[in-house]
């Protein structure tokens, strides 16, 4: 059993409460937002089609709205990624999670991947300035699919591109079968070794327990993407 290193409020403030399934209903988005307010999560992370609703529901709360770009494959054209990022910001997003060109990372085409990410980061930030908001940009490198030796280099590319966070995974890549993966202590440790304190680290993909949440934070994660946020916080309350 993990020690009580965090209060429920402190741990919730490190979580992006996430609902990215393709069949998420309006009622589910509403429930997500209301629970995020009640528990004090850092943000809700929703698909671009749900940003306007989430923005309206959270307008009077400190909970941020996060959305995803080129999700979950990362295989969109650069111009499409830039447009999608700008659109999310103009619709109300405070934070953007971009999926990097995974195939480009695996093949070692690092210069092209960095150039694309820099363009998307710049587009999101420009839209933020025009909207009067500072935008946080996270880049998903999909550690579930990357060879371990590529993870540090991919992480350094994210830093060079000007993003604020390296994020482990979409949670949709399941190379080991029907089990979400990507948010592992090993992956977070590799990212941390590469970036130090230069950027934040968001662990996401298969985080379903308090024990795993604490282990990932100990390894270096500064944000957690979770769909089981309420369950995890209630687990903390029951044991501490």
The DSSP letter of residue 100 is P
Average pLDDT on 58-86 reads 98
pLDDT for residue 72: 96
Q: Assess whether 27 carries a catalytic annotation.
A: no
Which candidate, 151, 140, 160, places its Cα nearest to that of 67?
140
Question: Could you read off the pLDDT of 162-188 as tens digits, one per residue?
Answer: 999 999 999 998 776 666 667 999 999
Cα–Cα distance, 40 to 161 (Å, whole number) = 31
Q: pTM value?
A: 0.96
- Distance (Å, rounded) from C-alpha 173 to C-alpha 91? 28
> Tens digits of per-residue pLDDT, 125-153?
999 999 999 999 999 999 999 999 999 99
Q: What pairs with residue 223 in β-bridges?
A: 202
In angstroms, the CA 1 to CA 214 distance is 10
* Catalytic entry in 81, 138, 167, 212: 167
- In this structure, is the dihedral angle defined by the CA atoms of residues 145, 150, 153 and 155, taken in order, positive or negative? positive
Residue 97 among the catalytic residues: yes
Catalytic residue among 64, 81, 192, 202: 202
The single residue of 16, 94, 97, 101 carrying the catalytic annotation is: 97
């Amino acid at each position: 059993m993990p020690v009580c290193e965090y209060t429920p409020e402190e741990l919730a403030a490190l979580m992006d409460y996430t609902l990215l399934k393709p069949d998420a209903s309006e009622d589910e988005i509403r429930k997500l937002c209301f629970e995020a307010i009640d528990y004090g999560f850092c943000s809700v992370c929703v698909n671009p089609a749900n940003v306007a609703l989430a923005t309206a529901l959270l307008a009077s709360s400190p909970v941020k709205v996060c959305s995803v770009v080129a999700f979950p494959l990362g295989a969109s054209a650069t111009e499409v990624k830039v447009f999608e990022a700008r659109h999310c910001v103009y619709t109300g997003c405070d934070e953007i999670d971009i999926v990097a060109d995974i195939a480009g990372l695996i093949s070692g085409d690092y210069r092209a991947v960095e150039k694309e990410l820099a363009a998307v980061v710049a587009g999101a930030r420009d839209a933020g300035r025009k909207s009067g908001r500072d935008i946080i940009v996270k880049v998903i490198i999909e550690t579930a699919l990357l060879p371990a030796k590529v993870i540090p280099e991919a992480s350094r590319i994210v830093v060079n591109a000007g993003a604020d966070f390296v994020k482990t995974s979409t949670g949709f890549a399941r190379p080991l079968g029907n089990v979400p993966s990507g948010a592992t202590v090993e992956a977070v440790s590799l990212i941390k070794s590469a970036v130090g304190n230069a950027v934040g680290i968001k662990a996401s993909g298969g985080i379903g327990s308090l024990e795993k949440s604490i282990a990932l934070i100990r390894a270096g994660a500064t944000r957690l993407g979770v769909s089981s946020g309420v369950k995890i916080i209630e687990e903390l309350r029951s044991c501490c």
